[in-house]
Structures are given as C-alpha cells and as structure tokens.
Structure 1
Amino acid sequence: MTVIRLPDGSEKVVDHPVTIKEVAESIGPGLARAAIAGKVNGKLVDLSSLIETDSDLVLITDKDAEGLEVIRHSSAHLLAHAVKELFPDAQVTIGPVIEDGFYYDFSYKRPFTPDDLAAIEKRMMEISKRDLQVERKEWDRSTAINFFKSQGEHYKAQLIEAIPEGETISLYSQGDFTDLCRGPHVSSTSKLKVFKLMKVAGAYWRGNSNNEMLQRIYGTAWTKKEDQDAYLLRIEEAEKRDHRKLGKQLDLFHMQEEAPGMVFWHPKGWTLWQQIEQYMRQILDQHGYLEIRTPQVLDRSLWECSGHWENFRENMFVTESEERHFAIKPMNCPGHVQVFNQGLRSYRDLPMRLAEFGSCHRNEASGALHGLMRVRAFTQDDAHIFCAEDHVQEEVTEFIDLLQRVYKDFGFHEVQVKLSTRPQKRVGTEEQWDKAESALRMALEKKALAWELQPGEGAFYGPKIEFSLKDSIGRVWQCGTLQLDFSMPNRLGATYVSEDNLKKIPVMLHRAILGSLERFIGILIENHAGALPLWLSPVQVVVLNISRNQTEYVRSIVDELKNHGIRAESDLRNEKINYKIREHSLQKLPYQIIVGDTEIKDSVVSVRKRSNIDLGRMPLHDLVNLLKREIAEKI
C-alpha cells in the first residue's frame, strides 16, 4: 500500500503506482482540469509522473507561481515547434524561462522579420488548438545524440554531449516535434492559450563572442489574458519612460562608442547629479560619517591581499607602469581600510564611519551594457563602518532607518529586503560566515522587516542585505546593500586597541544606499517619466515674456528667484507664447511663469504648473514661498 499525503492533511491510500494526474482526477474533475504539474516530496514533476512510494504531494495549478513557470517553459517549446514547422532548416538551441516570459535561440540562414514573428505566433496558436499530448521520454546518451544529428540539430547534440555521465537524458515530444529538456511540462498543448512573441535579438551560442551569433526570440506567457494585457501595458509604459530616450530629450546626458559604458553628463544632467550628491552629503554628515577620497589606481599586491584579485579579477581593468601591475579600482573598500590603518586606532574611535562618492570601474561585457543602468564607470555612495562586534546590531539598525528615510525623500515607499548568504566562491572561515549571517538575520528580525532568503548570493567576503525599490509602474530595482565582513580587515592588517589594551581586528560593514549614482538617476528618470520633483529638477522655473516690452521684468524675476536659491531661466526668444509654453512643457519643467504688460502693471506673475495646471496670477513673493515650501518638503 502507498500513502499519498496532501497539503490539507488528508491522505490517499492506493494499492498500485498512480500518476499525479490520476490523483487529481480522484479528488475532482475541476482540480483535474486545473492541474498543470505536481510537487512530489518538494520536487516539481509532470502530471504523468508515477508515485510508487509513500510521498507528500502538492498539486500545482495555474494559480501557483510554479504553474506559471511550467506554462512559460512549455510555451518556449511551443515556439520551437512552430519555428520548425515554418522554417525546417532552422536549428533549435536553448530556450529557458525568464522573468515575465521565455526565449528560444535559433540558428537560421537569414534574420527573422516582424512578419516572421507574426506567422510564428499564429502557428503557435494553431498547434495549441491541436491539443497534442506532451510525452516525456528518457533515452541513453548515444540514442539521443544520434537522433538529433539525424534531424540536423547539431546544437542539441552538443548539449547532450556536455551532460555529465550518469545524468538522466530526458526529452519531450508533442506531435512530431521532440526536444531535449529536463521538464516538467504541461500535459497538452491546449493548456497554452495566452502568449505573445515580443522581439528578436542577437545572442552568441553559449554566451561566447567567439561562437556563432544566434537569433533569440523573446516571448511572454500568462494564465489569463487580462494579466498579459496588464503586462503589455506596463511594457508600453516602460518604453515611454526609457531613461535613454528621456536623457536625450531632456538634454541630460549621452553615451558614445568611444567610451563604452561611460557617461557624458550635460549641464542639466550634472545639475541633477549635484542635487543628489549634495543631499546625500548632508544626510551623511548628520549621521556621523566622515567623507574621504581614495586613489583610482592601486597596486596589484593590495588587491591580492583583499581577495579581489583572486575572486574579482575578470571584472577589473588592469594596467602596468615601470614593471608594476595596477588595477583601476572596481570598489572602494581596500582603500578605506588604508585610511583606517593610518595611525593607532582605539576602541574610543569606534564606530568609525568613512564615506566616499567613490568612482569605480568594472569591465562589464559589452552586451550587458544598458544606458545608465549598466555601465563600466560609475560612482557609488559608498561607506564603510569599522566597529567592534558588539556595535554591529546597533549599526545595522541605524543604517536601515537611514536608508528608509532617504528612499522616502526620493519618493519610494515600498522597499523589498533580501538576505544573501555565503557563495561558493568566498574567503574567510565557516565560523566567521556563521557569525556574520546570524548577525544580519538578528538585525532584520529586530527591525521586524519582511525579508526573503537568497542562498549563495552573498559577496565573496561576507553576507549581505539587499534593499530593492518598487517604482511607479511596479518594477523592482535593487539599490541599497549592507555587507558584514569579518575577513577583509584581517587580510589588510586593520587593528584597534581594545579597552583591555589588546590589539583586536574591527568588524567592517560595507554599505551603500543609492548604489551606483548613475543607475539611481536612471531609475529616478524612469520612475517619474522625466517629470522630476521640484527639488531635483535641473531647471525649476522658466520665465517667459509675451513681447519685448517685458524683457527687463523677466530678467528681474529670474534674478529674484536665483537670489532665493531657485534654479530659474528666462526664455526671451521672439516666438509666440503658446509655442514657448508647449516647448517647455515637453521639457517637463515644473513651473512656467508668463508675463505680459498686465502682469507688469499689477506687479504679479501668471503661473502654470506642470501637467497644464493654471495657478493663476500672484505676487512673486507668494510664488517664492510656494516653491521654497515644495522644495523643503520634497513633495
């Protein structure tokens, strides 16, 4: 007899092996129709999988996250099936699930066109309606290799050859299409009803630029059409908010091939940068941080001592001078330890909080670069806190409070928290890692924050807490980090004299709130669709004249606004006023002041707020007070 335990505590007892589908049917026809896969003793499997021993079973439906993943995985196979029917000479390579969808890479003699995508999507729908049963098969290595070679699928044969000896080689067939896959998959193509192909992009075979360039077709798949419609609306909105387009439209910055992954800041963009940096500098000063500056280029020996040369070398730019090897710093921590090491430190000096707007360089792959979001040269709002072990809980707690205040000032009120633990490639002892992970976990529990565990995602020198922001259209951006490091201070010779006159090694907290300033500015631009809040806007007010008669009055208004610290400009061009208003509206300026002869006569200004809001006429000092209040309150 076999006992099958279900999540509600009930049990099914059978006297012979049964499939997961049969268990679902025994519970009820509704569940049998809704079931997509099963989880047996924690492992996700097909509905056709046999249960032969006592097991815990969870039936997965399209309401479960795992169910949606299975649907997307199966939709990738549906895409490959459709491509093979329409383009028999195309070779199928790899097709995984990704966030919000899937992709499949193909080798084909010519580029796929938008018309091809439309035809492929139509054929996918036709195959779905055929209600083809999806069958899992397990073959030995040579049979599988010979099969795919006979089909002209040489990439698949290579994938099988790379599978370690002893691992199961599983394939899935639907109609006359067979693909290599671990699974699981839906039981029938008819389960796949809501999908859309999005775009074609290039991708090297196995991510190696020395290999053939393949064609990657991206798609999305959902359980309900309304969910897909909402996603497509988000994508459309995201395209409107693309910081690269807005950066050009608003004259903030540009990038060019001569400096890949590096930013040319224009005056308006640099003004925005300065507002952020000055705000952060004020915040750091209020919380006891000491600002420093460390060199851009450091000798290889220092990076070897810190562990970066061994664990981060492939991401570093290196150079040579007078037979010495140097690296352009990818991060600031070793330099901060050097500042701490100057002079004899006492327990009375701790905690010591050293901050730097540190300029770093990392040799990111060219294919990964993306506007401000992924660059090679960037500036971090970086800081390192040197403290004793008994300071850790208080420092972590204070940092979380500080971070939440900063995010709120920038208009982000929803913050997601993740704890990342020891990676496979790391430095330090297991005892140090146990202690560090426990300390961060305790701090999160003390703050009563909801958090998610990310096993194996810590930095090579310590576990970390990651803080992610949700923007105005629901996207999540990882920004802040806090890493607890028992290793690097010891490796770099950092010590302090304790209260009992002994030399001790400080604990080091690596922390950043915004992360990369470049990336954070990109997030801000997209979050606000370029319409930045008044306190951040490079130009806060533009003053427009209706005719030349108001030239001097316009100049006096601009001077008065500047005297109050408001970033104001004039537009005295000989253009129609409606043209000027429309042009500055496209620049998303927060306020426009319009003056004509009546405004001069009455000593007032006419004020328009962004989004075509007419505030009417008012004395200039009333407007100044309104602006100063809005700036101070960071509305």
Structure 2
Amino acid sequence: MHDHRKLGRELDLFDSDPLMGAGLPYWLPDGAVVRHTLEEFVRDLERRAGYRHVYSPVLGKRELFELSGHWSHYSEDMFPPMDLGGERGEQVVLRPSLCPHHALIFRSRPHSYRDLPVRMAELGGMYRAELSGVLGGLSRVRAIQLNDAHVFCTPDQVADEARAALELVRRAHRVLGIEPVRYRLSLPGAGGKYVADPELWRRAEAVLREVLSDVDFEAVEGEAAFYGPKIDVQIADGAGRESTLSTVQVDFHQPRQFDLSYVGPDGAKHRPVMVHRSIIGSLERVVAHLIEVHGGAFPAWLAPTQVVVLPVSEAEVPCAAEFAESADLRVEVRGPERGSLGARVRAARLVPFQVVIGAREAAAGLASVRLREGGKWEPAPVAEVLARISAAARPGAGGRR
C-alpha cells in the first residue's frame, strides 16, 4: 500500500495550509472530481435501496444535543458552543453527528405504520474536536463529510433493515475494491460514558448478533456509541493501522429521547427504532483509503481524468478536440506542445484510457486506444471506441477491457 498523505499531494488531490488549521484539508480540482463521483455513486446506490435524501444544518442549539445525549456523553469531542448573545442567551454547536437532526425531521411529520420503514439519507458535514496529535491527511480530520443515513422502523423490521444496510455496505465495498480486515461488534465497556439502560443495550446487541450470524466477527468491549452497540467495518492503511470505515447501529435510545412515534394498526402510538448506517463512512477517510489501495490508479469510473486524447501532431489537434467534445466522459486533450508522444504517454500513466490519433486515424475517422494496464485496442470508428470506453468506465466494470 501507498501513503495517501504523500501520494495525494503529489497527484494534486488535496492539500492543507497552516492558516486553515490542522485537520482541515482542502480538495484540489482532481480530488474534488473523485469526491463528487463518490457522492453521486453512493446517492444512486441509496436511492435504488429506497432511501430519500435530505439536507440539514451543520449547527444546532445546545439544547438539541442535551436532549439527544451527546452533550452529557460526548461533549469532550465537540467544539465549544458559540454564544449568540441576546436576551435569551442562545448557544449553538457545530454538530458532531447527524442523527439528532434526522430525528427532528422524522418528528416534524405524522407517520403511520404503513409509512415505515422511513429511510432518510444525507451527505452532510459534522465536526469533531480531535486532538492535533491524532490528525493526519484525510484519514483523521476535524471537518467531516459523512455518508450518513437513519432508518426509522418498527421493532419487527429492525433486523431486516440492519441486515440490508450491512449488505449495502458490502456491495459498495466490492465496487470500490475495498477489502475489510474484519467486522467488529462494538459493545460498551467498563467506565465509559454510556446510556444507563441495560435492557435497551441487550435488545440492540441481540439484533446485531442476529445480523452478523453469517459473518465472521469479533466482539470488542469499549467501542460502542454512547447510545447503543454497532457493527464496525474495519480497514487498515499501509502501515497496518486499523480504523473504522462503515457502520451499522441499532438505537432504541434516541427515539425515546425525542419522543418519536408512529400510529400502529391498533390506532395507538408506538415507538420506532432507529438504525444508523454509513455505507462508505466519511468521504475523507474513504478517499484516503482508495488512494492507498489503488496507488492513485483509480478505477476508470472514479479516475479524475478517464480519457486522455493524444494527437500525434498539430494536424490532428482538431480531430482530438472533436473526440473530446463528443465524449460524455472526463476527457483531456494533450497536444504536441506538451512534449513528444512518448513523453505524453508516460505523463498519462495513471489515466485509464489513452486515445491516440495520428494522420491515418484522423483521415479515416478512427481512434486507437492504449490501456493503463497494458495492451491496446485496434483502431476503430470513434463512436465505437466511445461506446466501449463508456461501458468499461461504469462503476464495477473496473475499466479492464
């Protein structure tokens, strides 16, 4: 594996500046392309799985986090509240998670048992007051863009929803080429700041053990969220350091705190269960891991530049520009002013497809393709080449054709 901190800067994917502060990297154009492509991938995956997307503010009143339990159990990891002043002395806080906001959104509308499960997803910002000593690159940051979601369901639905969430995680990992090092059932430990309700913990743990019944996992104490146990999908970096990427959690606590309810078939109010889940975790951490897994040679669908067009001489530049304009792909034309053909081929070594257009191809309306992994495609009509590249650049295709 590679070090994403070094490679990410060399490839102009991200960087940082002391004036912005530690743990607050910024995305450069190529890194922004990777991030945006991941966002679209996961949104589409969630939409197909029945999730609906929302947007919520990154700020919330201190009282919101007192109600959710974050203030009493998690405030050491939160940024200090900001005093808005005024007669009421309001304080607002940068949120450390999205679940309180989603609980309020669910509570804002009445729900029947016929509406459930309600699957609510958001790619949203959250903030953690991490100590400077643990920060590094994209893998540990203070401003996090999280692929988060919450499923509000009946007690009878919770096991199926948690199982479906874990399967969605595994499906995304297969497409991304991520191989977890282990699945962890994270349980409360002695002396931690956890919600004091043994019965709720017992019920949530039983559900997650059922979900993990066909998966090899390790139960670890002291790693649970303050409100409930969770399944953590663990990955490792090039140095063997382990971290959590994706999670599935079962929560009986916050529905009670927010007095969430739905009307059951008996006409009475009932309490839903929350399933928290993140398919790819934070965009920062997943991009850090993908840089290391792929060494910057991202799968074709994820690559910042999918196709580089290399006209052999100035005479072929118009044909190269026409090819780029007709492609519904991320294409860059690199002409002779960038050096010899050999030099341009070497400079584009991480681009999945190199389209070479010489005098013969330009005259016949053809294009030939060099593949990043080695090998070539025989010259073919431009429309045929574009169709073949497009098929190979779909998520999961891998670009190896």
Give the TM bin, normalised by the shorter chain: over 0.9
Superposed counterparts of 1:111-260, under 5 Å: 238=1, 241-259=2-20, 260=22
Aligned residues: 389
CA distance in 2, matches of 1:482, 1:614: 43
* Cα drift, residue 476 of structure 1: 5.4
CA distance in 2, matches of 1:255, 1:613: 38
Are 2:390 and 1:624 equivalent residues in the alignment? Answer: no
The corresponding residue for 2:255 is: 489
CA distance in 1, matches of 2:181, 2:272: 30
Change (3 A) 1:385 1:625: same
CA distance in 1, matches of 2:371, 2:287: 23
CA distance in 2, matches of 1:615, 1:628: 14
CA distance in 1, matches of 2:77, 2:242: 25
The corresponding residue for 2:84 is: 321
Are 2:95 and 1:353 equivalent residues in the alignment? Answer: no
* Cα drift, residue 619 of structure 1: 2.6
The corresponding residue for 1:132 is: none
Say if 1:426 and 1:459, in contact at 8 Å, map to a contact too.
yes
Change (3 A) 1:620 1:474: farther
The corresponding residue for 2:211 is: 443
Are 2:28 and 1:266 equivalent residues in the alignment? Answer: yes
Task: Give the TM-score taking structure 2 as reference length.
Answer: 0.92
Listed one character per residue, the Cα deviations across residues 496-548 of structure 1 (whole Å, up to 9, x for unaligned) are: 22221222221111111111111101101110000001010111011112221
The corresponding residue for 2:199 is: 431
- Correspondent of 1:584 among 328, 348, 354: 348
Structure 2: which 5+ residue stretches go unaligned?
none
Q: Which amino acid aligns with 2:342?
A: N
Could you say what the CA RMSD is over the residues aligned between the two structures, in angstroms? Answer: 1.9
The corresponding residue for 1:383 is: 149
Are 2:224 and 1:458 equivalent residues in the alignment? Answer: yes
Q: Which region of structure 1 is more displaced relative to structure 2, 502-511 or 369-378?
A: 502-511
Structure 1: which 5+ residue stretches go unaligned?
1-237
Listed one character per residue, the Cα deviations across residues 582-612 of structure 1 (whole Å, up to 9, x for unaligned) are: 2222xx1111112221222233223211145
* Cα drift, residue 428 of structure 1: 4.1
SS of the aligned residue for 1:514 comes to: coil
Say if 1:541 and 1:590, in contact at 8 Å, map to a contact too.
yes
SS of the aligned residue for 2:110 comes to: coil
Say if 1:331 and 1:360, in contact at 8 Å, map to a contact too.
yes
In percent, how many aligned pairs have the same letter?
A: 36
Say if 1:289 and 1:353, in contact at 8 Å, map to a contact too.
yes
Are 2:57 and 1:289 equivalent residues in the alignment? Answer: no
CA distance in 1, matches of 2:48, 2:378: 39
Task: Give the TM-score taking structure 1 as reference length.
Answer: 0.59
Say if 2:180 and 2:233, in contact at 8 Å, map to a contact too.
no
Q: Which amino acid aligns with 1:292?
A: V
The corresponding residue for 1:85 is: none
Say if 1:428 and 1:486, in contact at 8 Å, map to a contact too.
no
CA distance in 1, matches of 2:211, 2:316: 61
* Cα drift, residue 616 of structure 1: 4.3
Are 2:299 and 1:299 equivalent residues in the alignment? Answer: no
Listed one character per residue, the Cα deviations across residues 222-258 of structure 1 (whole Å, up to 9, x for unaligned) are: xxxxxxxxxxxxxxxx4xx221222222221111112
SS of the aligned residue for 1:389 comes to: coil
Are 2:334 and 1:566 equivalent residues in the alignment? Answer: no
Change (3 A) 1:364 1:414: closer
Larger radius of gyration: 1
CA distance in 2, matches of 1:267, 1:621: 28
* Cα drift, residue 422 of structure 1: 2.1
Change (3 A) 1:603 1:472: farther
Say if 1:412 and 1:470, in contact at 8 Å, map to a contact too.
no
SS of the aligned residue for 2:157 comes to: helix
* Cα drift, residue 471 of structure 1: 7.6
Are 2:306 and 1:545 equivalent residues in the alignment? Answer: no
CA distance in 1, matches of 2:59, 2:182: 35
